[in-house]
Structures are given as structure tokens and as C-alpha cells.
């Protein structure tokens, strides 16, 4: 049975040209097959990730009223608090709440929890570190695609989004029977996602080489899913839909979901006569291309034998439509 590979990014960050090429081919191999990988030695200090989880706990512990004052304003749709079940995938609600933010430097963006003193400054640094890692990964992937290709120019960071995610404790019976899903099977919309998780697992990724399908619904029916255990030292890196289009399907969009954690690893807690699966926290950093980008197969990804499978797609129009579908 396959497992999600672990790739050491140290040689790419500090090694020779040969080391960088070797890392790029490991990344290529992982993305051509499973569709994602765990990254270690990624350069984001573990203490900063720990602190981000600690801010996240404080934020979601605010009262419901306080959290709702942080709901996105129409002009800052991507930023702010999204309450329970505000997201739907093929009509199925995600039983989670999240708080999203973008690049905060110099921008009067959206509502902000001013009662959490120091959080805004922390979040600015965290977002910047994730942006730097995103750019390093895009550089590595461009090397894998060949000398003519470069993903960097389409990713100034204007659309990068950090998302703090909280799944509350949930009835073990409802989650084990599948009546409640923490996050239904989906792939992310953009280029790449960095995903940090702690303690309570439940994240599963499809082995994209186990199916010839691409849509989330079809992959869910036909693909094999693998558990991604939380590991404080690694970040899960997965391919979004737009990167799949850019590479003409060479790298497939990684379909993933969050279900009840493996019972061998997580103890339930009993409250009254209910058995509960404990709450889960995760942090996603979504690398979306700039809105004006036209996503069209790279030259190195098509040929007479392997023609272009998709026509060009405007990233901004596509991302707006997908957000409307998910939050309507
Ligand atoms: O919480 C997780 O581990 C998954 C989150 C996710 O897939 C998403 O927000 O797109
Ligand atoms: Fe996702």
C-alpha cells in the first residue's frame, strides 16, 4: 500500500544546483503519482507554527457574538470569520469554522480581533513566512517543469490566503456512520496548499494514481484514500485545480477530506450520554495565482501525442465562481 512520501526541503534551500534538481525530481515524482507530499526542513520555525495554533485556540474561544463581528464585509470577501456550516461541498456542509486573512502589511483589510493583542503582528509574520515557502516551492516546481517554465511571475502573493480552521468536538456515532463529515472530499482551487495539523487526525488524501478520475465526487467513489497522520515537523503540500490545468494533468489535483480520526490514535471523551470525538485544529495556506492570470497549459506539458486538454482559464473569474459555489 502506498504512503504519502516525505520530502526533505533542506537540500533545496541550502544545497548545490545538483541538490536543487534532485529535490525537484522528487517533488515531480510525488505529484505525478499520489498528488501530494509531506515536507520537512521547510524553514518555518516549529515555535512559530505552535504559536499560530495557540492564537487559533484563543480566537475560536471568543464568544459566538464576538466571532460574528469578524464576518467578512462585502468588500473583503476573502477575509474574516466564517461560521459553522457556511461552506458546502456538493451540498454537504463542512462542520467547521475558519478565520481567513491575507497580506496585512499596509492594507486596511477586513475585520480584525483587536481584543487579541499581538495577534495581528504575529499573523503578518506567519503569513510572510508561508508566502516565502510558497515561492520557494513554486521555484522548485518550475525547475521540475523545465527551463522554459516559471510559476513565480503569476504569484505575487496578492491572492495568498491563510486560514485558521477549527472543527468542534462531534458525536462519535455521527462521524463514524458518515452522517457528519468534518470536510467532504474536495480538491483546493488554486495552485498549491500548505496544510499544518496537530494532535487530532482524520485527514485523508486520495492516492491519485489509484484512479483515472479527476472530479472529487468520482475520486471519492473510485480512489484509495490514505491517512495523513499529524506530524509537528511536516507540512502537507497538495496540488490545487489550477496547477493541474497549468500542467495539462501531469500533476493531478489532490482530492482530500477530513473524517473521524483513526480510533487507534484518538481517544473519545464522554459528555453526558454522548461519546465525542475531540475538537481538531488545522491551518491551511492557500497559494492562489494573481487574479489577472490566464491559466493555460505550459509548453513543456503538451505535444502532438499529448494535446492540450483544457482551454485557457482566467484565475480571478474561476476563483470568484468557486467561492460563490462553496459559500452560497
Ligand atoms: O483541516 C484540514 O486538515 C483540511 C482543510 C482543507 O482541506 C481545506 O480547508 O481546504
Ligand atoms: Fe482542502
pLDDT single digits (tens) 77-130: 578 999 887 766 677 777 899 999 987 776 656 688 989 999 999 999 999 999
Q: What is the mean predicted confidence (pLDDT) over 49-77?
A: 90
CATH number of the domain to which 194 belongs: 2.60.120.330
Which of 31-45, 115-129, 172-186 shows the lowest per-residue confidence on average (mean pLDDT)?
172-186
The backbone torsions φ and ψ at residue 309, rounded to the nearest 5 degrees and listed phi first, read -95, -20
**Which residues are close to ligand 2, an ion, with C-beta < 5 A?**
188
- The Cα 30–Cα 318 span in angstroms is 26
Residue 39, domain member (yes or no): yes
Please state, in angstroms and rounded to a whole number, the distance separating the CA atoms of residues 185 and 199. Answer: 21
- Cβ distance 232 to 87 under 8 Å? no
Residue 1 lies in a domain: no
Distance in Å, CA 203 to ligand 1 centroid: 8
- Owner of C-alpha cell 522548485: 140
Confidence of residue 75 (pLDDT cuts 50, 70, 90): low
The stretch 128-154 carries a mean pLDDT of 96
Nearest CA to ligand 1 atom 8: 284
Paired strand residues for 239:
192
Question: Quick one: which ligand is closest to 253's CA?
Answer: 2
* Calpha distance 152→109 (Å, rounded): 24
Report how far residue 208's alpha carbon sits from residue 35's, in angstroms, rounded to the nearest whole number: 6
Contact 105, 124 (CB under 8 A): yes
Report how far ligand 1's centroid is from the alpha carbon of 182 (Å).
Answer: 9
For residue 282, the ligand 1 atom closest to its alpha carbon is 1
Q: Is residue 117 part of a domain?
A: yes
Ligand 1 atom with minimal separation from the 98 CA: 9
Q: 191: Cβ below 6 Å to ligand 1?
A: no
Contact 203 CB / ligand 1 (< 6 Å): yes
Phi, psi of 294 (to 5 degrees): -100, 120
Q: Per the domain annotation, does 292 fall within a domain? A: yes
CA dihedral (210, 211, 214, 220) in degrees, to 10, reads -80
Nearest ligand (C-alpha, residue 96) = 1
Task: Specify the ligand 1 atom closest to the Cα of 284.
Answer: 9
Boundaries of domain holding 152: 6-327
**C-alpha of residue 16 to centroid of ligand 2, in Å:** 33
CA of 199 to the centre of ligand 1 (A): 15
Distance CA 41, CA 142 (A): 20
Atom number, ligand 1, closest to the C-alpha of residue 165: 1
Looking at residue 174, its pLDDT comes to: 85
Task: Please measure the distance between the N-terminal and C-terminal CA atoms of the chain and give it in whole angstroms.
Answer: 38
Q: What b-and-e string marks burial along 210-224, b requiring 16 or more CB atoms within 10 Å of the CB?
A: bbebbebeebbeebb
Domain count, the chain: 1
Choice among 56-60, 189-193, 213-217 with the minimum mean pLDDT: 213-217
Amino acid at each position: 500500500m502506498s504512503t504519502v512520501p516525505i520530502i526533505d526541503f533542506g537540500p533545496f534551500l541550502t544545497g548545490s544546483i545538483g541538490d536543487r534538481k534532485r529535490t525537484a525530481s522528487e517533488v515531480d515524482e510525488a505529484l505525478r503519482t499520489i498528488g501530494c507530499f509531506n515536507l520537512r526542513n521547510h524553514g518555518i520555525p516549529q515555535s512559530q507554527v505552535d504559536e499560530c495554533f495557540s492564537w487559533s485556540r484563543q480566537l475560536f474561544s471568543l464568544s459566538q457574538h464576538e466571532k460574528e463581528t469578524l464576518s467578512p464585509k462585502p468588500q473583503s470577501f476573502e477575509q474574516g470569520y466564517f461560521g459553522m456550516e457556511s461552506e458546502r461541498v456538493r451540498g454537504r456542509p463542512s462542520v467547521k469554522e475558519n478565520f481567513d486573512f491575507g497580506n496585512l502589511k499596509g492594507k486596511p483589510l477586513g475585520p480584525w480581533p483587536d481584543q487579541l493583542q499581538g495577534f495581528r503582528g504575529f499573523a503578518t509574520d506567519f503569513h510572510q513566512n508561508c508566502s516565502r515557502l510558497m515561492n520557494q516551492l513554486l521555484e522548485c516546481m518550475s525547475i521540475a517543469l523545465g527551463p522554459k517554465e516559471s510559476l513565480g511571475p503569476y504569484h505575487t502573493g496578492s491572492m495568498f490566503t491563510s486560514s485558521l480552521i477549527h472543527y468542534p468536538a462531534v458525536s462519535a456515532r455521527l462521524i463514524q456512520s458518515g452522517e457528519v463529515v468534518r470536510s467532504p472530499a474536495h480538491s483546493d482551487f488554486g495552485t498549491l496548499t500548505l496544510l499544518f495539523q496537530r494532535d487530532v487526525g482524520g485527514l485523508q488524501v486520495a492516492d491519485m494514481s489509484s484512479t483515472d478520475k479527476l472530479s472529487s465526487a468520482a475520486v471519492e467513489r473510485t480512489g484509495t484514500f490514505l491517512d495523513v497522520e499529524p506530524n509537528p515537523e511536516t507540512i502537507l503540500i497538495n496540488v490545487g485545480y489550477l496547477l493541474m490545468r497549468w500542467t495539462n494533468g501531469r500533476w493531478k489535483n489532490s482530492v482530500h477530506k477530513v473524517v473521524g480520526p483513526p480510533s487507534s490514535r484518538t481517544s473519545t471523551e464522554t459528555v453526558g450520554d454522548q461519546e465525542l470525538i475531540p475538537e481538531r485544529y488545522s491551518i491551511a495556506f492557500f497559494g492562489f495565482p494573481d487574479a489577472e492570470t490566464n491559466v493555460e497549459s505550459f509548453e513543456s506539458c503538451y505535444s502532438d501525442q499529448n494535446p492540450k486538454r483544457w482551454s485557457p482559464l482566467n484565475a480571478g473569474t474561476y476563483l470568484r465562481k468557486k467561492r460563490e459555489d462553496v459559500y452560497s
